[in-house]
Amino acid sequence: MGKLPSYIKIVLGIICYICSFSIGSFGNSSDTLSEIRTSVIDTALYYDFVKELTGHNDGYYVEQFIKSAGLNPKGQYPWCAAYITYVFKVNGLNVPQYPARARAWFNGDKLIGFDKVQPGDLGSLYYPNLDGGRIGHIFMYLTPHDNGTMYVKTIEGNTNDKGSREGQGVYRKIRLRSTVYNASNHIPVELEIKVNYINAEDLPDEEKSCRCSF
């Protein structure tokens, strides 16, 4: 058999590259994680169907997220941090003061180096033109930050297909590592009892349903 034409090699290379995004690159999702960390991730993933009702920070689930952060659920507030707040409160974890502010999650001893990031930890995006420059978006890591690629997988609220900080739903995203400003861990060390990670979609229906109570 003769050599493959160069254009076919290029196409095959692209296909292999795309496939690498969908088969568990960016770190091994079966890595051993703690029971509480697994629960936090499962809870976050459960809500990846949520979309705003009218595109104005509204709708049943969005309003539940906003309410969990101590704000008027009908106030149409940006809710990326409120979504994280809800996920942590459902799992009985403490949240920072003013948890509806993304920047509130990245202070003091909660900050961690990128080399320490595990799935379930939090990352931020910094916007230099926002109020003179500040953190303006928060997400949850689904992979380690240092994973051998240029990217991280995330789950985040109030975003969209383009990765906006003013989107209309909960989305799983792939972001460039270089765009992440800093990271934090809000899962107490004393709760880190190691178990095998379970994807939310692998849970029985009765287990999934218990994730959405608040």
Give per-residue pLDDT as tens, 153-190: 999 999 999 999 999 999 999 999 999 999 999 999 88
Give the confidence band of 194 by pLDDT, cuts at 50, 70, 90. Answer: low
Task: Say how many CA atoms lie within 13 Å of 69 toward its Cβ.
Answer: 29
Q: How far apart are CA 62 and CA 79, in angstroms?
A: 7
Tens of pLDDT, residue by residue over 16-47, are 433 444 434 455 443 578 999 999 999 999 99
Give the confidence band of 7 by pLDDT, cuts at 50, 70, 90. Answer: very low
Give the confidence band of 6 by pLDDT, cuts at 50, 70, 90. Answer: low
- Looking at residue 32, its pLDDT comes to 72
The answer to whether 105 and 96 have CB atoms below 8 angstroms apart is: yes
- Looking at residue 191, its pLDDT comes to 87
- Looking at residue 33, its pLDDT comes to 85
Residue 18 C-alpha from the chain's centroid = 21
Return the CA Rg of the chain. 18
- Looking at residue 183, its pLDDT comes to 98
- Looking at residue 46, its pLDDT comes to 98
**Residue 196: pLDDT over 60:** no
| Residue (of 156, 141, 138, 114) closest to 197 by Cα position | 141
Q: Looking at residues 82-89, what average pLDDT do you find?
A: 98
The answer to whether 146 and 152 have CB atoms below 8 angstroms apart is: no
- Looking at residue 104, its pLDDT comes to 98
DSSP code per residue over the chain: -PPPPHHHHHHHHHHHHHHHHHTT-SS-TTSEEEHHHHHHHHHHHHTTT-B-SSSSS-SHHHHHHHHHTTS-TTS----HHHHHHHHHHHTT----SSTTSGGGGS-GGGEE-GGG--TT-EEEEEETTSTTSEEEEEEEESS-S-SSSSEEEEEEEEE-TT--TT-SEEEEEEEEGGG---EE--S-GGG--EEE---GGGS-HHHHHHTT--
Tens of pLDDT, residue by residue over 92-148, are 999 999 999 999 999 999 999 999 999 999 999 999 999 999 999 999 999 999 999
Q: How far apart are CA 75 and CA 54, in angstroms?
A: 14
Range in 2-6, 28-32, 50-54, 209-213 the model is least confident about: 209-213
| Domains of the chain with bracketed CATH | 39-197 (3.90.1720.10)
The answer to whether 169 and 51 have CB atoms below 8 angstroms apart is: yes
- Looking at residue 1, its pLDDT comes to 45
- Looking at residue 166, its pLDDT comes to 94
